Amino acid sequence: MLGVTDLPTYLAAVVLIVLLPGPNSLYVLSVASRRGVKEGYKAACGVFTGDTVLMVLTAVGAGALLQASPVLFTVVKVLGAGYLGWLAVGMMRAAAVMWRARRTREEEPDAAAAEPAGAAERPYRRALLVSLLNPKAILFLLSFFVQFVDPGYAHPALSFLLLGTVSQLVSFLYLSTLIFAGTRLSAAFRRRKRLSAGATSAAGVIFLGFAAKLAIS
């Protein structure tokens, strides 16, 4: 089918890969839980855009370029780790504000102050950068996609297009589930400030872990 050798196996593999926790899905869940469905989908669109760019780059050979240039790979890897670390610090600072607000019990000023901070977050741009600043994604896509492309097929670009489309559809379903689950969580977060502050702190720590793992890998 359009040069794809084993579509059912590829679909099963994509589902398992998408379900693995990563910075993209965690950020979408975080935005949805704090800002609602609309902002959650803005973050998801950033992820889709970034993944699409990486898939196109993979198809034209950017993955081979990164493999052939350790210096370029290192530069992109450091940028990605730095950005994830910056997001983690921002989450921890937001959590510190929540803990202080909870102690003072100034619920109305806290809610008013949270709105501009969320508006300035720009979830689409942040999610896009998280996706793009991940050189391992390009290398993974290259090594993963080629396993399901028939080398004798005359139009391999169509094969990559089909594989990428399937991957994006699975990702859309998964992120949609996270977004609507996140809005359910947001109601609990609004009622329980300690839960909200704790979850934001945990997200910051996890993002620091992603940054460290990318930096030393």
Q: Answer for the pair 73, 135: CB distance below 8 angstroms, yes or no.
A: yes
Hey, is 149 helix, strand or coil? strand
- Residue 85 has which token pair? 């670390």
**Cβ atoms within 10 Å of 200's Cβ, excluding its own:** 24
CA-CA-CA-CA torsion sign (187, 188, 194, 199) = negative
* Each residue's pLDDT expressed in tens, for the chain with a length of 217 residues: 677 887 888 888 888 777 766 788 888 888 888 888 898 999 999 999 998 888 887 777 765 666 677 777 677 777 777 877 887 888 788 778 777 776 665 444 444 344 444 446 789 999 998 888 876 676 667 667 767 777 777 777 777 888 888 889 998 998 998 888 877 766 665 666 666 677 677 777 877 887 787 677 6
Length of the chain measured in residues: 217
**Cβ atoms within 10 Å of 78's Cβ, excluding its own:** 14
State if pTM tops 0.75. Answer: no
Hey, is 4 helix, strand or coil? strand
First to last CA, the chain: 36
pLDDT in the model for residue 142: 65
pLDDT in the model for residue 196: 64
The residues near 185 (Cβ < 8 Å, ≥ 6 apart) are 33, 199
Task: Please give the Cα distance from 131 to 139 (Å, whole number).
Answer: 13
pLDDT in the model for residue 122: 87
